[in-house]
Amino acid sequence: MGHSLGRAARVTEWVFPAVPPSYDDTHPLLVRFPVAGVDTEAVALLLGRDLFSEEELPTLGSSVSSCVIYFHSNGCDIGQCVDDMTVFRDGVLDGDAVVLCPEYPGYGLLRAYQPSVTGINLVARAAFEYCCKELGFHSSQIMLLGRSIGSGPATELAHTLAVEARTSEACDHEMLMRELTASSLGAGGSLSSDLHHAGADAGAGPLLIERAATPRMQVGMRVTVLEAFRSDSTGRVLLRPGERGCVIRVDDRGDVLVDFRDHPLSQWIFKANHCKLHAQPVKRPVGAVILLAPLISVAAVIQHHVPSEFAASLVGPMWEVLEMVKNDAMEHVPLFIIHPKNDEIVPSAHGQALFEQSTSRHKFGVWLCNATHNIALDEDHLRIARNFFDELLGASDARHRVQGTPKLDGESGYSTLSDPSAVESENTGIAGKCEGSHDVEIMRIADRLIQLGLEAKAEDAVVMSL
């Protein structure tokens, strides 16, 4: 018994090693915020272009485009993360962001506390609440960046928020369905006849629910069919009340291509028929999850180094990152993975598995050749992903299928799906298009990385997953 506990303690020390503090409470970037249910305040570093006054903090959400919460690795504290924070802010977001790096229990100014998954998760949620309530950011502006073991709390927080959003969406849908039922019965028809009528202009009677003005359609919007009608694709698929889908394309005429859950092919809906849809504004539970050298689980990393299920079991569940990214609730959480190919601590196969098995509709993968686990990030490593993040900041969301059916002739004046390459396949590693000047930029960055590699200054290549 004692021998087993001793081994368990050593494994825990390997997961959360003792790291000498690299900063104190005089650090110029230090901020504090409360943690729900805990007396002690959490601490973090807040990096922007300049130092912020107390008066400026609540307006940051309107003065910069995004906020990144950076969850560091287990081999450092937040005082050693400023370089990574700066590189990500400038290399990907062109300086138009703030980066918050919360400290873990057991590290830095919190070194008197026992490090634990529960404690770190509490700090992660508190950091998110701080960004929303005290800094003025909307959840869709906040990106969660996790490095190495930091991929655990980053994914855990995203997963929790996504599940909460999915539950809220289900409640909203249930309420809408109750209104649809009451409206149909109140109109003198039966709900079943409304749901199953197969005519071209189906519908037993007018809906009595008060309709809000149809918002301007955007990619990523979730829609619910209010009354039965046929789509404006060539197949004229019958859409019944209550069916749900996601807008995956809006053309220059305002017509939308919708991915309905109950139909194998996406369907066009003309602008004139938008009144028959209930559309919810674009909402993402979080702006994106960015994972650098991520792990599928702590136990899997330990088992890689010590081929023993018993040793891995001593750690407990900790963060099961792979299981979380596989959850359907994560489909609307954009995912960016960057993993060194020669990672000697967390095998690159972990990042590959997360990328391939993630349910995210919008994902991007970068694999750094000749790079090891503790690579010092360079802006060129990240700049190649700028198009991906530009899309996110532009409120673009899931563009994942090319199997959209052609439009009907008539109202919109053409009959084919113009530019089908604009809707990417869901198994691509590059979300959205890269053409023209974007191709030139990618080639320029690739050439630069190769040159740096030849000079032994950085990695010699970046490989994007396709």
Tens-place pLDDT, residues 146-191: 999 999 999 999 999 999 988 876 666 566 666 666 655 554 443 3
pLDDT at 291 over 90: yes
Q: 321-335: per-residue pLDDT in tens?
A: 999 999 999 988 999
Q: Lowest-pLDDT range, 163-177, 271-285, 440-454?
A: 440-454
Dihedral, 9, 15, 20, 25 alpha carbons, nearest 10: -110
H-helix or E-strand spanning residue 247: strand 244-250
Q: Look over the chain and give the mean of its residue pLDDT values, rounded to a whole number.
A: 78
- The reported pLDDT for the residue numbered 183 is 58
- The reported pLDDT for the residue numbered 322 is 97
Q: 362-416: per-residue pLDDT in tens?
A: 899 999 888 999 998 887 777 778 878 877 776 433 333 334 567 665 443 333 3
- The reported pLDDT for the residue numbered 37 is 86
Alpha carbons 399 and 402: distance in angstroms, whole number = 9
The tokens for 5 are: 């506990």
- The residue among 340, 369, 339 whose CA lies nearest residue 450 is 369
HEC secondary structure over 35-104: ECCEEEEEEEEEECCCCCCCCCHHHHHHHCCEEEEEECCCCCCHHHCHHHHHHHHHHCCCCCEEEEEECC
190-222: string of b/e by CB count within 10 Å (b at 16+)? Answer: ebeebbebeeeebbbeebeeeeeeeeebbbbbb
- Higher-pLDDT residue of 420 and 160 is 160
- The reported pLDDT for the residue numbered 5 is 31
pTM over 0.75: no
- Cβ neighbours for 444, distance < 8 A, ≥ 6 positions apart: none
- The reported pLDDT for the residue numbered 242 is 87
Return the sign of the alpha-carbon dihedral for residues 20, 67, 292, 380.
Answer: negative
State how far the alpha carbon of 212 is from the alpha carbons of 209, 278, 280, in Å: 9, 9, 11
Residues counted in the chain? 466
The tokens for 443 are: 């080639």
Average of pLDDT values for 39-58? 90
- The reported pLDDT for the residue numbered 13 is 73
DSSP state at residue 237: -
For the chain, the structural domain boundaries read: 2-164+284-393
- The reported pLDDT for the residue numbered 30 is 97
Using pLDDT thresholds of 50, 70 and 90, give the confidence band for residue 434: very low
Q: Please state, for a pLDDT cut of 70, what percent of the chain lies above it.
A: 70
Alpha carbons 421 and 432: distance in angstroms, whole number = 9
Alpha carbons 145 and 68: distance in angstroms, whole number = 7
The answer to whether 262 and 231 have CB atoms below 8 angstroms apart is: no
Strands 256-260 vs 267-269: parallel, antiparallel or unpaired: antiparallel
pLDDT at 143 over 90: yes
The tokens for 27 are: 């650090």
What phi and psi, each to the nearest 5 degrees, are found at residue 246?
A: -130, 135
Q: What kind of fold does domain 2-164+284-393 have according to CATH?
A: Rossmann fold (3.40.50)
Q: Please state, for a pLDDT cut of 90, what percent of the chain lies above it.
A: 46
pLDDT at 458 over 80: no
Alpha carbons 80 and 68: distance in angstroms, whole number = 17
- The reported pLDDT for the residue numbered 219 is 75
